[in-house]
Amino acid sequence: MGEIRFAPRHQLPRDRSGQRRGDGLSRTHCHVGPAAPTDRPLRPPLVKNGGVGSRGERKTNARSRSREGKGAGQCAAKKPREMAGRKVSVAAVQFACTGVESENVATAERLIREAHKKGANIVLIQELFEGQYFCQAQNLDYFQRAKPYKGNPTISRFQKLAKELEIVIPVSFFEEANNAHYNSVAIIDADGSDLGLYRKSHIPDGPGYQEKYYFNPGDTGFKAFKTKYATIGVGICWDQWFPECARAMVLQGAEILFYPTAIGSEPQDNNLDSREHWKRVMQGHAGANLVPLVASNRIGKETVETEHGNSTINFFGNSFIADPTGEIVKVANDKDEEVLVAEFDLDEIKSTRHGWGIFRDRRPDLYKVLLTLDGEK
């Protein structure tokens, strides 16, 4: 499809009478036809020196001609200074998990190193990647997989890796905190430091995804973590279906959203395939908040024995990276191990986000109904 870009009216040039020219769809600010390259930074149109043919432009041209007449060695015209944007490369990895923790951790490290070679600054691993997705069954034995946050060997290993490669790594793990258990992510900065913890807020409970048996509802609240390369927000799997989660993180300054995930087929209905719905919901978060979004999901067929017989999920991968308009710029398939990398200019995106006014025009005083369960005040 073709791509159309609009210029907000307040950014259109003025004519001599001071009136705005155009209707926000200026030929000089609009691309129609084949989609523009996805690695092109998004920027609101900026018109300097009063616009084309303005008095300011004529003066600039006159000065340039005057300098050119003085010879190459005399007061040559200066080249316009280019603004260096804050460019960040993000990555999503996906792979099939085995029943052996050491193998899965080694696979994650291998793919992180591959992402680093491709230029990634921040690398996302899938949810609960240390093992197969055990929440298909209610089994006391699986509580033995939980480990405390402090001194966690997997977190420590990825702290060393992050420091070595100078990259940021959100690390998903099954957390034990005294008698509580959480589905958690530790945010590791590029110097290997631990920036803190996020605990999954929304806990699902349904056939094949019986997480309420294992996890307490998270108590950290939604957060934004200031890393070396960007301020990021991280939600976990089921959190991705809730727009309040994404908006809360961006309100706190998150410039990129990350969602480690474990989702696939529905054991109770083999005809139900949610992958496109799953992607569209998160594309909406990116577009509504004008921030890039990264989702990492696992692949492979996993069968777990339950009290009612075997339960099987085919995890559909489709890890992806979306740009600030919600358009998917990189996507994996449903069966292969993959590393996706995309670069964004966060300064350009910030300028565009401010130009749209979506955070200027919010009305928190009208949103109190969101604090209720039934919509009643």
Which of 127, 302, 338, 348 is labelled catalytic?
A: 127
What are 326-365's pLDDT values in tens digits? 999 999 999 999 999 999 999 999 999 999 999 999 999 9
Give burial (CB, 10 Å; 0-12/13-18/19+) of 80. exposed
User: What six digits make up the tokens of 54?
Assistant: 């303005």
Q: How far apart are CA 294 and CA 123, in angstroms?
A: 9
Residues of the chain above pLDDT 90, percent: 74
Would the pLDDT of 277 be above 90? yes
User: Which has more pLDDT, 38 or 341?
Assistant: 341
Does the pLDDT of residue 295 top 50, yes or no?
A: yes
pTM above 0.75, yes or no: yes
Its sign, for the CA torsion 75, 76, 77, 83, is: negative
Q: Using CA atoms, how far apart are residues 372 and 78, in angstroms rounded to an integer?
A: 60
* DSSP-based three-state secondary structure for 174: strand
Indicate if 79 belongs to the active site: no
Chain mean position to CA 167: 16
Which of 176, 237, 245, 255 is labelled catalytic?
237
Exactly one of 97, 130, 200, 255 is catalytic; name it.
200
- pLDDT > 70? residue 35: no
Q: Name the CATH superfamily housing domain 88-366.
A: Carbon-nitrogen hydrolase (3.60.110.10)
130: helix, coil or strand?
coil
pLDDT value at 76 more than 70: no
CA–CA gap between residue 80 and residue 66 (Å, rounded): 17
Q: Please say if 237 is a catalytic residue.
A: yes
On average, the pLDDT of the chain sits at 84
Angstrom distance (rounded) from CA 345 to CA 60 = 29
Helix 275-289 vs helix 243-251: crossing angle, to nearest 10:
30
pLDDT digit string, tens, across residues 205-254: 999 999 999 999 999 999 999 999 999 999 999 999 999 999 999 999 99
Beta-strand relationship, 180-188 and 169-177 = antiparallel
Domain extents in the chain: 88-366
For CA atoms 163, 169, 175, 177, the dihedral sign is positive
Known catalytic residue: 200?
yes
- Give the range among 84-88, 149-153, 187-191, 285-289 with minimum mean pLDDT: 84-88
Q: What are the angstrom distances between the C-alpha of 374 and each of 140, 206, 214, 300?
A: 35, 22, 27, 39
